[in-house]
A = this chain, B = another copy of it.
Amino acid sequence: MNNRICSLLNIKYPVIAGGMVWCSGWKLASAVSNAGGLGLLGAGSMYPDVLREHIQKTKKATDKPFGVNVPLLYPDIETIMNIIMEEDVKVVFTSAGNPKTWTKLLKAEGIRVVHVVSSSKFALKCEEAGVDAVVAEGFEAGGHNGREETTTLTLVPQVRKAITLPLIAAGGIATGRGMLATMVLGAEGVQIGTRFALSIESSAHNFFKQKCLELNEGDTMLSLKKVSPTRLIKNDFFRQVEEAENAGASAEEILAIIGRGRSKLGIFEGDLKDGELEIGQVASLIKDISPIKAIMEEIITEYKQAVKDLPILALG
């Protein structure tokens, strides 16, 4: 397979593990990289020193490439970027901010830069900013999300039409067939969050993981739209926000309800009632917590089988 994502990131399979807050530590990142994909550390939930520690541990746990996901609105962004450069990380996925700000500097250090977008408009800005590849993430994805609410099925062809850069699909992909479906639409790789968040190596609390296994369709919802749209499990915290929104609460009032540390409380500490529980729609398809090696094998095996099966779908 002559795949631009595999070449660019020097990986076996074009499968990237999303850098998820409170899930994506060194254990998950190194396991995904060791399994032939690209593991990402989620800097969004790490203080700078913690990130450095996780980078060092990942380097010890794998000799394969890995990366760091950095939300560009991170308060200590300069410190974070300096650590990434000092520790000689080869790949940075950036999101939630302007790709122009850091791309040039990172690329000058030989780092591959990939930016996450939710529209073809921002994909074009990425191309102008000189990033190496783009992640197009749809409405079904867990956690922070675009305001356009464009689904992966609609977004991927849009972005494919708009740019020539290597393209990674994200949102709603948990299986080999899901992966192949987005590749048919023009993606050259996939970023998988939810499926990897619900693995042995994910640092999420076991209460959170077990809760996710019980989800049915409709049990997550895009919430916090007045602040920053985020896909959450519909728990007590979600309903508190929803009631306030329905009663016409302002962004400031919603922020006051959220307070600080809500996602840590929910995902890392396992408070299923008052925590902010970020996960993708596709959680409802997942019924087991397995090791990354087995999950990756399952995805790749199903993908290969789906490619083989395709002649069945030929029209006369």
Chain B residues with CB under 8 A of A284: 154, 158
Given the complex of chains A and B, what is the CA–CA distance between A216 and B124 in angstroms? Answer: 14
Residue-wise interface mask of A (286-315) relative to B, using a CB-CB cutoff of 8 A (1 in contact, 0 not)? 000000000000001001101100111111
Chain B residues with CB under 8 A of A120: 217
Q: At the interface, yes or no: A178 with Cβ under 8 Å from chain B?
A: yes
Q: How far is the CB of A205 from chain B (nearest CB, A)?
A: 24
Name the CB-closest residue of B to A173. Answer: B153
Near B by CB (< 8 A), chain A positions 1-31 give: 1-2, 13
Given the complex of chains A and B, what is the CA–CA distance between A226 and B314 in angstroms? Answer: 43
Q: Are B185 and A315 in contact (CB under 8 A)?
A: no
Given the complex of chains A and B, what is the CA–CA distance between A169 and B91 in angstroms? Answer: 37
Chain A, interface size: which category? 35 or more
Q: Are B313 and A218 in contact (CB under 8 A)?
A: no
Given the complex of chains A and B, what is the CA–CA distance between A72 and B151 in angstroms? Answer: 28
Q: At the interface, yes or no: A155 with Cβ under 8 Å from chain B?
A: yes
Q: Are B313 and A304 in contact (CB under 8 A)?
A: no
Q: Are A314 and B306 in contact (CB under 8 A)?
A: no
Contact of A285 among B139, B158, B282 (CB under 8 A): B158
* A140-B151, A153-B151 known; A177+B172 contact, CB < 8 A: no
Looking at the complex, which of A40-48, A59-67, A142-150, A195-203 is the stretch in contact with chain B? A142-150
Chain B residues with CB under 8 A of A154: 140, 172, 217, 281-282, 284-285
Given the complex of chains A and B, what is the CA–CA distance between A222 and B285 in angstroms? Answer: 24
Q: Are A304 and B314 in contact (CB under 8 A)?
A: yes
Chain B residues with CB under 8 A of A155: 217
Q: Are A177 and B185 in contact (CB under 8 A)?
A: yes
Name the CB-closest residue of B to A120. Answer: B217
Near B by CB (< 8 A), chain A positions 202-235 give: 216-218, 221-222
Q: Are A281 and B217 in contact (CB under 8 A)?
A: no
Q: At the interface, yes or no: A260 with Cβ under 8 Å from chain B?
A: no
Near B by CB (< 8 A), chain A positions 269-285 give: 281-282, 284-285
Q: At the interface, yes or no: A121 with Cβ under 8 Å from chain B?
A: yes
Q: At the interface, yes or no: A163 with Cβ under 8 Å from chain B?
A: no
Q: At the interface, yes or no: A186 with Cβ under 8 Å from chain B?
A: yes
Contact of A307 among B178, B248, B285, B314 (CB under 8 A): B314
Chain B residues with CB under 8 A of A285: 154, 157-158, 161
Given the complex of chains A and B, what is the CA–CA distance between A306 and B307 in angstroms? Answer: 12
Q: How far is the CB of A93 from chain B (nearest CB, A)?
A: 21
Q: Are B1 and A313 in contact (CB under 8 A)?
A: yes
A-B contact pairs, 8 of them (CB 8 A): A13-B315, A140-B151, A140-B153, A140-B154, A153-B173, A154-B285, A157-B177, A177-B186
Q: At the interface, yes or no: A183 with Cβ under 8 Å from chain B?
A: yes
* A119-B218, A178-B185 known; A152+B153 contact, CB < 8 A: yes
Chain B residues with CB under 8 A of A263: none
Q: At the interface, yes or no: A175 with Cβ under 8 Å from chain B?
A: yes
